Structure 1
């Protein structure tokens, strides 16, 4: 699958191993290289260690929310998508980035992440 994600490095922040593997496969099929982080500290460490072009961030990670990761992505100018199965869509912080509701399809994830990247490029 050739897509807007082709050749990009994507940070995937996801605590559910099966979901992380599936998202990694979706990124691979879209031509992107995924790095998996399973919690907030691991994600922040990855962001310090290398430069990413985009990110897919699960909002709820092992009982904590991933806002510190979102804040770090914003500070670095990295477009991201929030993935969540249970969020209050009225929360103002959820308006800062596109949200994909779990369960989502591979096509939906690639489309929304691609749009986030395109919007960041135009900004």
Structure 2
């Protein structure tokens, strides 16, 4: 029997249930294993700290918190990530400027192509 490469694993952090489902569908269609989606900073940090991940898509605003603590963990683990947000790059915490920012509303192809690029950085 032929052994297969494991699918790339992508963490999705998004607090809007509809956008989370849409991102998960786009990612799965692009040939990745979706981790999550999760909607809280606590879950995002826990998974970013402990799971095998190849990339992550992060919404910045999670209710009354922001996702930067999870981004810090991903950065420390050298896991590529992009922000999928309604914020501008100027509104992103200085430490994480320069990371890909995919604006909401987004195009399906933008996310699919961006995921392939992120995973290719690994």
Q: For this structure pair, what is the TM-score category when the shorter chain's length is used for normalisation?
A: 0.7 to 0.9
Listed as ranges, the gaps of 5+ residues in structure 1 are: 1-5
**Superposed CA RMSD:** 1.8
**4+ runs deviating over 6 angstroms:** none
The structure that has the greater radius of gyration is: 2
CA contact (8 A) 1:11 1:52 kept: yes
Which residue number corresponds to residue 105 of structure 1? Answer: 107
Q: Deviations over 1:19-57 (max 9, x none)?
A: 111111001101111121111101111123311110000
Query: How far off is 1:7 after superposition?
Result: 1.7
- How does the TM-score come out when normalised to structure 1? 0.83
Query: How far off is 1:94 after superposition?
Result: 4.4
CA contact (8 A) 2:27 2:115 kept: no
3-state SS of paired residue (1:97): coil
Which residue number corresponds to residue 34 of structure 2? Answer: 34
Listed as ranges, the gaps of 5+ residues in structure 2 are: 1-5
- Aligned counterparts of 1:88 and 1:25: Cα–Cα separation in 2: 26
- How does the TM-score come out when normalised to structure 2? 0.84
- Aligned counterparts of 1:40 and 1:97: Cα–Cα separation in 2: 19
Which residue number corresponds to residue 10 of structure 2? Answer: 10
Question: Which aligned pairs between 1:15-94 and structure 2 lie closer than 5 A?
Answer: 15-35=15-35, 36-89=37-90, 91=92, 92-94=94-96
